[in-house]
Amino acid sequence: MIYFCLSISIVSIAGFYSPRIFDALLFSPSMMKGQPYKFFSSCFIHTGWLHLIGNVFSIVYFGARIAQYLPGAYLLIIIPLSMVIPFLPSYYIHKHDATYHGAGASGIAYCLMVICFLCYRNNVICYMLLFELIYENLFNSSGDGNEIHGSACILGVIIANLINIISL
């Protein structure tokens, strides 16, 4: 988990200082023809320091909580799924919108947060971040990331239920 977040940080910081790197990895549905790797690559760039720090902290924190209870192979499945699946609704909604762009690992962070909350509710930080998630998505007037965050939460609910079924 640490190495994954370190790679996200290194690539994001490079993107902060190189518009060429940032643009090459950016999720832009209207410009993705022949570039399906951008579903993955966009998770490695962020729009600013707070965006990067918040996502990396969330991935490390919630990933570590989940790893305490589940074999590491689960995270090797959850993380790639949460890199791609949350971007699918945005792709279909905005595929003709040249102004829409997506960047960041929020899909991973939100998915892991929801899994952690639903499977291990005794965690105060989960409650605080769940409140933030609800607040951000209800009162985010720009709409940025709502499809991605919402899809990641739905994916987290599905995965948490599967984990609970498997754990019976």
Q: What is the 3-state secondary structure (H, E, C) of the chain?
A: CHHHHHHHHHHHHHHHHCHHHHHHHCECHHHCCCCCCHHHHHHHCCCCHHHHHHHHHHHHHHHHHHHHHCCHHHHHHHHHHHHHCCHHHHHHHHCCCCCCCECCCHHHHHHHHHHHHHHCCCCHHHHHHHHHHHHHHHHCCCCCCHHHHHHHHHHHHHHHHHHHHHHC
* Residue 77 confidence (pLDDT): 93
Q: What is the pLDDT of residue 73?
A: 84
Residue 43 near residue 83, CB atoms below 8 Å: yes
pLDDT number for residue 81: 96
Is the whole model's pTM more than 0.75, yes or no? yes
User: What pLDDT sits at residue 168?
Assistant: 65
Q: What is the pLDDT of residue 23?
A: 92
Question: How confident is the prediction along the chain (168 residues), in pLDDT tens digits per residue?
Answer: 789 999 999 999 999 999 999 999 999 888 778 888 998 999 999 999 988 998 999 899 899 988 988 887 889 999 999 999 999 998 888 888 888 888 999 899 999 988 988 887 666 666 666 666 666 656 554 555 678 888 898 899 899 889 888 876
